[in-house]
Structure 1
Amino acid sequence: MLSFRQKILISNICAAFLFLTLMFPLASKTVKGIMVKALEDRADELIHKVEGASDIRDMILRLKKEKPQLFFRVSILDQNGGILYDTHAKRLLGAQFTPGYIAHHHEVEMALRKGVGYAEDYSTLLQQQLTYVAKRFTHNGKYFVVRTAFPYKHVEAITESVKISFLLMGVLIVLLFSLMTWLVIQHFTQPIQQIINVVKSYKEGEVLPNIHLEGLSSRDEFSRLAQTLNSLSLRVRNQFQVLTSERNEKHAILESLNEGVIAVDEQLNITYINDIASQMLNVNVETALEKNFESLNHPDFYDLLSVCLREQQLCTSTAILGDNPTIYLELIAIPKGKGGILVLQDTSSHYRMMEMRKDFIANASHELKTPVTIIQGFAETLHDNPDLPKETTQPILERIMNTCLRMTKIIKNLLTLADIENLPQSRLQNFDLLELVHRCRENVLSARPEAEIIVDIKTSHSEILADPDLLEVAINNLMDNAVKYSSPPAHVTVIIDKRDKDIILQIIDQGVGIPQHELENVFIRFYKFGKSQIKGMSSSGLGLSIVKTIIDKHFGTITVESKEGVGSTFTIVLPVREELF
């Protein structure tokens, strides 16, 4: 016959086993439901973001703006299953990714039929099992699908964690109930009192000390309870270390952001401020913490946060800080719990780009206005004096022709810039860069036969995928400049080399050089520096801008090193690509 204690213990074990047996399937189903609901909610948020897009390109741009907030993979597909955008495919496949590629996915087909689709499938791209949720939406009368994904292993890990938690909780409940029952029956209070005394000594912020019970076997229930609590204490210490590490990691991430971040409580007292925000607002991090936001003396920021906390909704605004330099900020106030977060985004580069566009239009108008004025003046002279002798009209006509040629060159350069901005993939082809360099060399020498241009080849592989016509424009421009701005006879060296997966092209001259303070401006459109005025030479200021645009469109880089009176070295780095995708 079993003893009463054994019966109680067995009864508790059976009850716990039944409880865990019923809870395990529920845990799996609950976790799965939570993950699916989270993915559906995220899909709804993304659909809400892109529904107001004017076209598909705008839709994709809006989705790209959400990329920093996406927790995993997100795709957008058309009603035929064609992939319009994918957050991971372009980064992982690079040039092999083709927008519009039609892929057949069960969840996408289900979403197109029923509005929502769910599937668990293996991703060959990411090499792992994923949980997919797809949701349909309508834009301009057409169906589109937002497809979100989450690693299945994380779902399994969460499920296992929940199961283990239920298991540990069930075991702990059984042990505690058995021990309490044993104490009531046996009136055995001393061990439990010892445990209570140890726990009582625990203070908030301290680690729970180990429990040692004297006079009891290590196999006794109370000793096992003490061991369980010690194990739990160890896990708490480990978890505390993990949380501390995660907090430090989040702090490091926030500090590495380009945006300023300030967190406040419900009373608008500052609880966190990163270094970027402190630099933008010119405040010390240590002195700003725990102070009220109003003390920063930025009433616009304070009012925005106040409205955000009062109405519990996201608020945005703009602000301008400083005079030299001026910083343009976009302010985003986000409610968080009882407090809020203020994000300061530096949009100065956007404003500078707008100013550069204005300058470009003004400079283009000015450059075209001057030759037009010259032509108009000479034309009026000829019109008003039709009887001028030929020896007088001939220089005038030559001046008009030269001015027309200059204006034609400016217009041609502007058209070249516009053409480069819309470079189609169909114009790319494989060709030998060495042959192109030799052709450019012959072009320059035909116009300037006294020059000496040496081509130094340091690699046997100079095949490249690019637009040969545009690269010829760029290399011709650099070689011509190297000769033009050198004392005759010019000495120019062209070096072709290969490094890893890049082709290196260097054009080295022994010319007048470029002042150090002007090096950062040489690729700006219409920028003219001192050497453009030497020897009576004129320049539109577009040549090097065209060169840089061409190199940028080929995913390359161009840099310049120069010293006045010594010469300049232009270095082009182009990636070697054998196919488009």
Structure 2
Amino acid sequence: MSRRKLFWKLVPSYWLVLLCSLLVLTGYTYYSAQSVYFRELKTTLEARAEAVAERARTELIRDEREALDALCRTTAELLSARITVVDSEGRLVASSTGGMPSGEGLSARPELREALQGKRGAQTRYDHRQGRNLFFVAVPVANPNGEVIGAVRVARPVTDIRNTLDTMAGRILLAGLAVGVVAMVVGVVMARRISRPLEAMRLAAERYARGDFERKVPVPEIEEIGQLAQSMNWMAERLNENLNTIRQQQHELESVLSNMAEGVIAIDRNESIIKMNRAAGEMLRVHPGEARGRSVQEAIRYANLQDFISEMFASVMPREGDMTVYGERDRHFHVYGVRLLSNEHNVPDAGVLVVLHDVTRLRLLEQIRRDFVANVSHELKTPVTSIKGFVEMLSDSGAGDHGEQKRFLDIIARQARRLEAIITDLLTLSQVDDASERGELSFESCRILPLLEDARHLCETRARDRRMKIVIDCPHDFSAVANPHLIEQAVVNLLDNAVKYSEPGGQVRVRAAQHSGEARIEVSDQGQGIDRHHLDRLFERFYRVDKNRSRKMGGTGLGLAIVKHIMQVHEGHVEVESSPGEGSTFRLRFPLQSREGGDAAVN
């Protein structure tokens, strides 16, 4: 159904009522004036007809038609009317016009029929002979005995009356139209005064719907509309306050959800996602915005989580469990689910809330702890067992072959050195951690080249035994703020590994330079390289790529872990690039700027 503005409903209605009122007023005035005119005309004509009847009574009794004709013509000229005299049978006796009317007899005329019955008759009708409307009045003519012996009829045209009435009606209509135009203009102005404030309120309501509450509705002078405008302004203020509160709460909620480490997924009763925070999107590899409004089966690709959500909808109690997302790096999550309550009935039928807690690091740390315990036990048990066994063999052999005893003692000494190396590296790790936590590490500006040369000197014996060459590429004036002893130890550990795990006769290259405000030291070898799946765990304590070869080469499995901790206390990190058969490059990166520390250095 089409809708129109209030203005176009008020104005046409007002004009229609005004037009109808004008027409009714004009019609009523015309009818009233016509009644007055015809009533006066009837009275006048009846009086004149009575006068004629009085004079015609004697001639009618005597049947003197010529005298009656003369009377009719003389009187008709004086009265400007048409006069007719008929006998008691309705036959024409005399007429001011002469001649017999065409058509039916005169007794059939209504006015004459009433007059012949002793009454007065009057009628207006169209006269075909004259071609115009005439007003006929007839009165009876009685003899002295009271018997009706005829009738006298007087007729006058009503044209003058009609013209007068038409003129009067035209004037009334013109005056009414003039008044109507003025009233229409007033009506338009009044309709505008009513519709404009309502239109302003409509526009204000649209602004409120768009969230714009700054502009207020003007308050008009009309009391009812003014009260409505004030109510709308008050409503806008309340809405603005409530919406600001809701926006603030929503912003706070969004901030909390966005910054939560846990993933949060809200699902409605139709199993469609209504909210997913950033952490959940990263965990499930889904964009939160794209997941909103989609079904769980469509947005989440992991069957174990889909099954967990389906089980939540089948239960009213909270549930929790563990799930694993498999990929290039497996991730482990602890999942907690709870049913959402309906606001109306406080019944758990509004949907499901799922919280994902990433426990991958905890699982990794737990695995590292187990591996560490197992490795420490194994690493310490192996030399202790060897020492114990050979001591028992020496005890059993007594003063046997001196050469055999010497071989046993060499093995005991070698295992003791291995045990000492493990304990020394463990103590180094512990000392670095403790000194860093207590702020007891000292940092100073030092040249890097002497540190690299000292590290090469410490590894030169092993390199010479394997016919390997250590090449240093470092600017002479390159310096950085660091703990010299720790940097030297980190480079020694990297060089020692490079020499041990490279083929004899190869070359190890050490490069040092500054880049983008940080110091970089690279140690590159030409060894057998490392598979990619070992790189993530390479810096864990006691982690070995090739355990048999590492123990054979005398490694403790703690060298790279020490390098990692040294870089951490320097607010830096260590990187590795390696491919099987192409050698490895270890890169130390730490800031060049000075840092605060204690006075004690770790030895």
Corresponding residue number in structure 1 for 2:471: 454
User: Does 2:459 correspond to 1:444?
Assistant: yes
Deviation at 1:196, TM superposition (A): 3.1
The more displaced of 540-549 and 449-458 is 449-458
2:537, 2:543 within 8 Å by CA — same for their partners in 1?
A: yes
Distance 1:398 1:368 in 2: 18
User: Does 2:354 correspond to 1:349?
Assistant: no
2:317, 2:338 within 8 Å by CA — same for their partners in 1?
A: yes
Corresponding residue number in structure 2 for 1:402: 414
Deviation at 1:331, TM superposition (A): 4.2
SS in 2 for 1:428: coil
2:263, 2:278 within 8 Å by CA — same for their partners in 1?
A: yes
Question: Cα gap change, 1:300/1:394 in structure 2, threshold over 3 Å: closer, same or farther?
Answer: farther
Corresponding residue number in structure 2 for 1:391: 403
Corresponding residue number in structure 2 for 1:504: 520
Question: Cα gap change, 1:208/1:411 in structure 2, threshold over 3 Å: closer, same or farther?
Answer: closer
Deviation at 1:367, TM superposition (A): 0.9
Deviation at 1:263, TM superposition (A): 3.9
Letter aligned with residue 457 of structure 2: E
Aligned ranges 1:219-368 → 2 under 5 Å: 254=257, 258-263=261-266, 271-274=274-277, 277=280, 285=292, 286-288=294-296, 296-299=309-312, 319-322=321-324, 325=330, 327-329=332-334, 331=336, 338=343, 343-368=355-380
User: Does 2:530 correspond to 1:514?
Assistant: yes
* Structure 1 gaps, min length 5: 1-186, 211-217, 306-316
Distance 1:352 1:329 in 2: 14
Distance 1:519 1:349 in 2: 16
Question: Cα gap change, 1:392/1:221 in structure 2, threshold over 3 Å: closer, same or farther?
Answer: same
Distance 2:537 2:562 in 1: 14
Letter aligned with residue 490 of structure 2: A
Distance 2:394 2:441 in 1: 46
Corresponding residue number in structure 2 for 1:214: none
The partner residue of 1:429 within 430, 443, 453 is 443
Instruction: Give the TM-score normalised by the residue count of structure 1.
Output: 0.52
Distance 2:398 2:405 in 1: 9
Deviation at 1:478, TM superposition (A): 0.5
User: Does 2:430 correspond to 1:418?
Assistant: yes
Distance 1:295 1:482 in 2: 49
Distance 1:490 1:537 in 2: 17
2:201, 2:229 within 8 Å by CA — same for their partners in 1?
A: no
Letter aligned with residue 446 of structure 2: D
SS in 2 for 1:297: helix
Aligned ranges 1:125-274 → 2 under 5 Å: 191-196=193-198, 199=201, 207=210, 254=257, 258-263=261-266, 271-274=274-277
Instruction: Give the TM-score normalised by the residue count of structure 2.
Output: 0.50
Give the number of the structure whose alpha-carbon radius of gyration is greater.
Answer: 2
Corresponding residue number in structure 2 for 1:479: 495
Distance 1:208 1:347 in 2: 43
User: Does 2:556 correspond to 1:540?
Assistant: yes
Question: Cα gap change, 1:549/1:462 in structure 2, threshold over 3 Å: closer, same or farther?
Answer: same
Deviation at 1:363, TM superposition (A): 0.9
The partner residue of 2:482 within 465, 468, 484 is 465
Question: Cα gap change, 1:326/1:565 in structure 2, threshold over 3 Å: closer, same or farther?
Answer: closer
1:532, 1:538 within 8 Å by CA — same for their partners in 2?
A: no
Distance 1:194 1:539 in 2: 92
Letter aligned with residue 463 of structure 2: R
Letter aligned with residue 547 of structure 1: V
2:447, 2:477 within 8 Å by CA — same for their partners in 1?
A: no
Computed over aligned residues only, the root mean square deviation of the Cα atoms, in angstroms, reads 5.0
Deviation at 1:438, TM superposition (A): 1.6
1:506, 1:570 within 8 Å by CA — same for their partners in 2?
A: yes
Deviation at 1:255, TM superposition (A): 6.2
Distance 1:208 1:353 in 2: 51
Letter aligned with residue 452 of structure 2: V
Letter aligned with residue 295 of structure 2: T
User: Does 2:591 correspond to 1:575?
Assistant: yes
Distance 2:252 2:211 in 1: 26
Letter aligned with residue 296 of structure 1: I
2:509, 2:524 within 8 Å by CA — same for their partners in 1?
A: yes
2:337, 2:355 within 8 Å by CA — same for their partners in 1?
A: yes
Letter aligned with residue 571 of structure 1: R
Aligned ranges 1:89-108 → 2 under 5 Å: none
Deviation at 1:194, TM superposition (A): 4.1
SS in 2 for 1:560: strand
2:335, 2:354 within 8 Å by CA — same for their partners in 1?
A: no
1:516, 1:563 within 8 Å by CA — same for their partners in 2?
A: yes
* Structure 2 gaps, min length 5: 1-188, 298-305, 344-349, 598-603
Corresponding residue number in structure 1 for 2:137: none
What per-residue deviation string (whole Å, max 9, x for no partner) do you get for residues 217-260 of structure 1?
x9987899999999x99xx99x9999999979976985685422
1:494, 1:508 within 8 Å by CA — same for their partners in 2?
A: yes
Letter aligned with residue 319 of structure 1: G
- How many residues are matched? 371
SS in 2 for 1:422: helix
Identity value in percent: 28
Question: Cα gap change, 1:506/1:206 in structure 2, threshold over 3 Å: closer, same or farther?
Answer: same
Question: Cα gap change, 1:475/1:199 in structure 2, threshold over 3 Å: closer, same or farther?
Answer: same
Aligned ranges 1:30-45 → 2 under 5 Å: none
Deviation at 1:341, TM superposition (A): 6.0
Corresponding residue number in structure 2 for 1:379: 391
Deviation at 1:395, TM superposition (A): 0.9
